[in-house]
Structure 1
Amino acid sequence: MPTYLAIFDLDETLIAADSASLWNKFIVAKGLAPLSLLTQEHAMMTAYSKGTLDMDSYMTATLAPLKGKSHHKIQPLIDEFITDIITPAIYQQALERIEWHRKRGDHILIISATGEHLVKPIAAVLGVKNVIAIHVEQHNGIYTGATTGILSFKEGKVERLKIWLQQQNHNYKGSYGYSDSINDLPLLNLVNKPFAVNPDPTLAMHAQMKEWTIMNWRHENNILR
C-alpha cells in the first residue's frame, strides 16, 4: 500500500510553546545559566518572529551554558524539563493528528530548528521515532557548545529533509506538512499538502493566498513562553 510522509514542526505546532525558550528559562531557574541569557534570547526570538534570526548566533548563545558539561549531568535535567514543562504543553489536537496519520499507515517525521538534545526526547514522548533537528556536538560525552552540519532552519530544513529521504529505502506517494511559522515556508512549499497550524500573521496571509488549510489548535492552559 502506498505510504505518505507526514512532517511536523515542533515548537508552537505540536506544543503550545517554544521548547528552546522554555528550556532557557528552566536552566536559568536551575542556576545553570545567567539571567542575562533570557534578555538575549528575547531579542533573538523577536528576530525569529520576523524571519530575520541568525540561527548560528542563537545556537551559540543558548548552548553556551552546556559547554564543558557532561551529557550524564545534563540528561536528568532534560528529563525533568520534559516531564514537568513540555508534556503539559502538548496540544491534544496534535496527538490526535499524529494518531490519524499513524492509523493511515503514514510515516511521521518531526523537523525542528531546536537542538536534538531536546527534540529527540520530546519526540519520544509524542511517539515519533523519526527526527531531524540541529546536531549538538559532544566530544566523549561532553557538550562543546557548538553545532555540526546543516542547521535545520528555513531552507536548511529542506536540505536536511532531502538528505534524510535519500537515506530511506522508501518512495512516498505524497507528503503532508504542518507548521506555525513563516520560517518554514520553504518546507511547506515542498510538501503536497501543507497545513498552517496556529500560523503567525505572515504565514496566515500566505496560507490564505495559497488556499492552504489553516488549523486552529488550542491549549486549555496558558503556557508560559
Structure 2
Amino acid sequence: MTEAAATELHTEPATPRDPGAAAFFDVDNTVIRGASIWQLALGLWRRDFFTLRDVSAMAWKQVRFALLGENLAHVEQIRQQALGFIAGHSVAEIHAIGEEIFDEAMHDRIWPGTQALTRTHLEAGQEVWLVTATPVEVATVIADRLGLTGALGSVAESVDGVYTGRMVGDFLHGAAKARAVEALAAERGFDLSRCAAYSDSANDIPMLSLVGHPVAINPDGALRDHARAHGWAIHDYRTGRRAAKVGAQAVGATALAGVLAAAARRRRR
C-alpha cells in the first residue's frame, strides 16, 4: 500500500447503520487534548492530595506528552504516583472528584471532531466505548458526559469501597487494550471486522489492528507512518505540525505557571 493510499480526513464520513458493530476510542490526545491523568493529578493536587513538588514533576511529563506523544515510562510513573495518592480514599469520593475535574478542566479540552465521530457511530446504532489507561472511574465520567456506551480503563483495587493503592489486572495500555477489546467483543457479540477503532499513538497499533476500520487521530509520527503504509484513514484536528508544537509548548508552560502561581497564592494565605 502506497503512502497516497491513506486518507487524511478533515470531515467525518457517513457511518452505515450496523448495530452489530462498535467503535473503540482511546482518550488522551484522541478524545481530549493532552493527558487526562495529568488533569486528574492537577485536580487532586488542588484538593491537597499531594505536594507542589509532585505536581511540578508531572507538569513536565505533560509538556513532553503534548510535544512528542506518549512515553510509557512517564505514564507508568504518574500512574504509580496516583495509586499511592488515592490509597485510603473511598471510591465514591474519587468518582465525585472525577466529575468535578471533568467539568473544571476536561470539558473544554474535548476535540470537537472526535466527539462528532462518536456521534456518527451512535447514530448508526453502534455502541461506543472508551478504551484507555486512564483510571476507569475517570474514563466512565468522560463516557457518561459525552453520552457514550461505556468505558474500559485501568482498575485500582478497592476493599470495602476504599482504595488499597494496588492495581487489579493489567495497566490498560498497548497489547492490554487489544485484549480488553477482544474480550468485550466476545462478551457483547461484536464482529471486529465491522468495528472501528481510533487512537493517536503507535502504542495502540495492536488495538487498531484488531478492527476492520482503524483510524489514526492526531497521530504521533510512528502511527502516522504506519497508517500511511497500511492505508488507514487519518483525522488530524490540529492546525499543522509546527503550530501544534508551538501550541503544546504554550499549553505546557501555562499549566506549569498556573500551578506555581496557585501555590504562591496558597502560601500567602
User: 1:184/1:170 Cα in 2 relative to 1: closer, same or farther (>3 Å)?
Assistant: closer
After the TM superposition, which residues 109-124 of structure 1 pair with which residues of structure 2 at under 5 Å, given as runs? Answer: 109-124=129-144
Counterpart in the other structure of 1:127:
147
Q: Aligned equivalents of 2:150 and 2:116: distance in 1?
A: 18
Residue 96 of structure 1, CA deviation: 1.2
CA RMSD of aligned residues (A): 2.5
SS across alignment from 2:28: coil
Instruction: Give the counterpart letter for 1:175 in structure 2.
Output: C
The equivalent of 1:144 in structure 2 is 164
Deviation at 1:72, TM superposition (A): 3.5
Q: Which residue of 2 aligns with 1:191?
A: 211
Moved over 6 A (4+): none
Q: 1:51 to 1:19 in 2, by over 3 A?
A: closer
The one of 14, 20, 25 equivalent to 1:3 is 20
Q: Secondary structure at the match of 1:151?
A: coil
Aligned residue number for residue 63 of structure 1: 83
- For residues 187 and 169 of structure 2, the distance between their equivalents in structure 1, rounded to whole angstroms, comes to 16
User: How far apart are 1:190 and its partner, in Å?
Assistant: 1.5
Alignment of 1:210-221 (within 5 A): 210-218=230-238
Aligned equivalent of 1:105: 125
Comparing 105-114 with 37-46, greater Cα deviation is found at: 37-46
* CA deviation after TM superposition for structure 1 residue 40, in Å: 4.4
- Find 2:220's aligned residue among 168, 193, 200: 200
| TM-score (ref. length: structure 2) | 0.74
Deviations 1:140-191 (A, max 9, x none): 1111111101322000001111222222245456111110011111111221
Distance 1:35 1:208 in 2: 42
Q: Please say if residues 5 and 175 of structure 1, whose CA atoms lie closer than 8 Å, have aligned partners that are also in contact.
A: yes
Query: For residues 125 and 29 of structure 1, what CA distance do their matches in structure 2 show?
Result: 22
2:40 to 4, 14, 23: 23
With over 3 angstroms needed to count, the CA separation of the structure-2 counterparts of 1:13 and 1:174, relative to structure 1, is same
Greater Rg, structure 1 or structure 2?
2
Report how far residue 56 of structure 1 moved: 5.4
Task: Measure the CA separation in 1 of the matches of 2:96 and 2:180.
Answer: 29
Q: Corresponding residue for 2:175?
A: 155
The amino acid that maps onto 1:107 is: E
Which residues of structure 1 form unaligned runs of 5+?
none
| Identity fraction in percent | 23
Segment drifting more, 161-170 vs 49-58: 49-58
Aligned length in residues: 223
Match of 2:195 in 1: 175
Structure 2 unaligned spans of 5+: 1-17, 240-246, 253-269
1:26 is paired with a residue whose SS is helix
The residue type paired with residue 26 of structure 2 is: D
- The match for 1:88 among 97, 104, 108 is 108
Structure 2 CA distance for partners of 1:205 and 1:117, relative to 1, 3 Å: same
CA distance in 1 between counterparts of 2:61 and 2:169 reads 21
- Higher relative helix content: 2
Q: Secondary structure in 2 aligned to 1:53?
A: helix
